[in-house]
């Protein structure tokens, strides 16, 4: 471009005085040539026609003495096509468009003007083109800076969240471990005291032994959860695949949660849904653990008197289980976060060792473990909830998709068991 400018000035041509007489035709052809080369479909052509016409008309105003920055709003509009998702290619599209615009101008000038006049007019147009290139390059740099700084702040936010969740986790883990430990220590001291009394009846010591046992059980469960999270995190969770029936698993859990449901005056309704009798290939212990965590949360985050329902359906290749509660619900912003380990663990002070107490906290590992187990089965888990509202209680529905057969297993093994579709008996 600069070479051409030097060349035209070396020709010592007369400077341009006003627009050439045939400017109307030049303008029309310049626009048509550009649109023909760049526009592919009719709809883009119409839009493009407008954009090019606007540029060409503005250059005419500049040739008649207007300032170059008349082009600014047009160039800013063009630059808005620089998409953040594909900045490189949208920027080179824009530069290619400018190239076509320049060539088309030259073609139109040569067609309608004497060579000398065409060169003078082209020389007069050069500052417009230079200005447009410079401004577009500037817009591109600005778009890149915005993209990079957005990306950086996203990474920074993620790091800050990770950092916070790690320190939250340490605080919660310490708190969660300390609560049962204090129980064990307290009951041990009482037991020692009791045993030192000469006439102590052994029956009086039973509650203390129960307390120690409960505390130790709670400690074990927290430590096991921590180990499971670390296995999942390191992709070391090994599954013992065998035929599983969902109705069996839920029958076990229904019995297990009976005391908690009664204590909280809640209703637990487990439906006999399509697919609940079908044979699945899975690790029964791990699947029980995942559904236990979900039911435990449903009970915990539903007020007294609420309802929890387990339902499902058969989908091609999958069985979908839904666990719905009438509880406090989950804010849409938190619906992905709650499945992340060590994240959004809530207020440490609220955490307690009451497993099914209303809103009783835990170490925040139940959902990450359930997710890890379901995903290790080739399935997926997500939650739906209108939002968090402790007064209105919009409830939550957890969806769990489990493949009917694990791909790594012989289809025949599943087929053999598929014909056996037992229904659970109350004594199971």
List of residues contacting ligand ADP (CB under 6 A): 293, 297-298, 301, 325, 327-330, 338, 346, 361-368, 396
What φ, ψ does residue 119 adopt, rounded to 5°?
-65, -40
Cβ closer to ligand ADP: 268 or 338? 338
**Cα distances (Å, whole numbers) of residue 350 to 163, 172, 331:** 21, 10, 18
Helix (H, G, I), strand (E, B) or coil at 396: strand
Cβ closer to ligand ADP: 274 or 360? 360
Of 314, 335, 316, 312, give the one whose Cα is nearest residue 324: 312
Cβ closer to ligand ADP: 321 or 338? 338
Cβ closer to ligand ADP: 131 or 398? 398
| Tokens read off for 428 | 């199971």
Q: Which residues neighbour 102 within 8 Å (Cβ) at sequence distance 6 or greater?
A: 1, 129
Q: For the CB of residue 152, give the shortest distance to ligand ADP in the complex, in Å.
A: 29
**Cα distances (Å, whole numbers) of residue 231 to 48, 237, 368, 372:** 57, 5, 11, 9
Cβ closer to ligand ADP: 391 or 420? 391
Cβ closer to ligand ADP: 103 or 167? 167
Find out whether 271 and 310 touch, Cβ atoms under 8 Å.
yes
Distance between CA atoms of residues 177 and 215, nearest Å: 10
Distance between CA atoms of residues 207 and 302, nearest Å: 30
Burial code of 20-30, b = ≥16 C-beta within 10 A, e = fewer? bebbeebbebb
Neighbours of 222 (CB within 10 A): 20
Q: For the CB of residue 334, give the shortest distance to ligand ADP in the complex, in Å.
A: 7
Distance between CA atoms of residues 296 and 360, nearest Å: 11
Cβ closer to ligand ADP: 215 or 361? 361
Q: For the CB of residue 92, give the shortest distance to ligand ADP in the complex, in Å.
A: 46
Sheet of 307-315, strands arranged across = 267-270, 307-315, 318-325, 396-403, 380-384
Q: For the CB of residue 341, give the shortest distance to ligand ADP in the complex, in Å.
A: 8
Cβ closer to ligand ADP: 215 or 327? 327
For residue 280, the cross-strand partners are 244
Q: For the CB of residue 299, give the shortest distance to ligand ADP in the complex, in Å.
A: 9
What φ, ψ does residue 201 adopt, rounded to 5°?
-80, 135
Distance between CA atoms of residues 253 and 178, nearest Å: 28
Q: For the CB of residue 337, give the shortest distance to ligand ADP in the complex, in Å.
A: 8
Q: For the CB of residue 237, give the shortest distance to ligand ADP in the complex, in Å.
A: 16
What φ, ψ does residue 142 adopt, rounded to 5°?
-60, -40
Cβ closer to ligand ADP: 215 or 363? 363
Cβ closer to ligand ADP: 298 or 401? 298
Q: For the CB of residue 187, give the shortest distance to ligand ADP in the complex, in Å.
A: 24
Q: For the CB of residue 257, give the shortest distance to ligand ADP in the complex, in Å.
A: 14
Distance between CA atoms of residues 232 and 369, nearest Å: 7
Helix (H, G, I), strand (E, B) or coil at 199: coil
Q: For the CB of residue 164, give the shortest distance to ligand ADP in the complex, in Å.
A: 15
């Amino acid at each position: 471009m600069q070479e051409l400018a030097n060349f035209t000035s070396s020709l010592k041509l007369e400077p341009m005085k006003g627009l050439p007489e045939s400017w109307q035709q030049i303008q029309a052809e310049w626009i048509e040539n550009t649109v023909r080369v760049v526009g592919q479909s009719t709809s883009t052509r119409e839009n493009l026609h407008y954009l090019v016409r606007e540029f060409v008309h503005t250059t005419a105003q500049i040739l008649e003495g207007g300032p170059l920055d008349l082009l600014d709003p047009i160039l800013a509009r063009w630059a808005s096509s620089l998409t953040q998702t594909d900045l490189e290619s949208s920027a080179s599209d824009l530069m290619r468009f400018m190239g076509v615009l320049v060539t088309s101008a030259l073609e139109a000038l040569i067609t309608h003007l004497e060579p000398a006049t065409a060169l003078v007019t082209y020389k007069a147009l050069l500052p417009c083109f230079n200005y447009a290139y410079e401004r577009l390059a500037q817009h591109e740099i600005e778009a890149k800076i915005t993209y990079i700084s957005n990306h950086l702040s996203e990474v920074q936010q993620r790091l800050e969240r990770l950092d916070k969740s790690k320190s939250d986790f340490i605080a919660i883990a310490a708190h969660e471990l300390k609560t049962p430990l204090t129980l064990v220590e307290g009951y041990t001291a009482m037991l020692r005291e009791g045993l030192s009394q000469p006439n102590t009846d052994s029956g009086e010591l039973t509650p203390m032994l129960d307390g120690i046992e409960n505390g130790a059980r709670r400690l074990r469960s927290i430590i096991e959860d921590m180990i499971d999270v670390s296995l999942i995190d390191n992709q070391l969770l090994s599954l013992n695949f065998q035929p599983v029936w969902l109705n069996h698993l839920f029958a076990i859990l229904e019995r297990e949660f009976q005391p908690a449901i009664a204590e909280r005056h809640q209703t637990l309704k487990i439906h006999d849904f399509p697919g609940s009798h079908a044979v699945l290939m899975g690790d029964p212990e791990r699947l029980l653990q995942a559904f236990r965590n979900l039911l435990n949360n449903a009970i915990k985050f539903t007020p007294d008197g609420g309802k929890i329902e387990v339902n499902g359906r058969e989908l091609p290749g999958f069985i979908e289980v839904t666990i719905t509660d009438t509880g406090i619900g989950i804010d849409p912003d938190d619906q992905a976060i709650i499945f992340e380990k060590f994240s959004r663990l809530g207020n440490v002070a609220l955490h307690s060792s009451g497993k099914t107490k209303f809103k009783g906290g835990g170490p925040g590992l139940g959902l990450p473990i359930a997710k890890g187990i379901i995903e290790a089965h080739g399935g997926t888990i997500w939650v739906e909830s209108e939002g968090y509202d402790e007064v209105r209680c919009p409830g939550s529905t957890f969806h769990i998709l489990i493949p009917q057969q694990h791909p790594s297993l012989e289809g025949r093994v599943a087929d053999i068991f598929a014909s056996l579709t037992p229904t659970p008996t109350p004594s199971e």
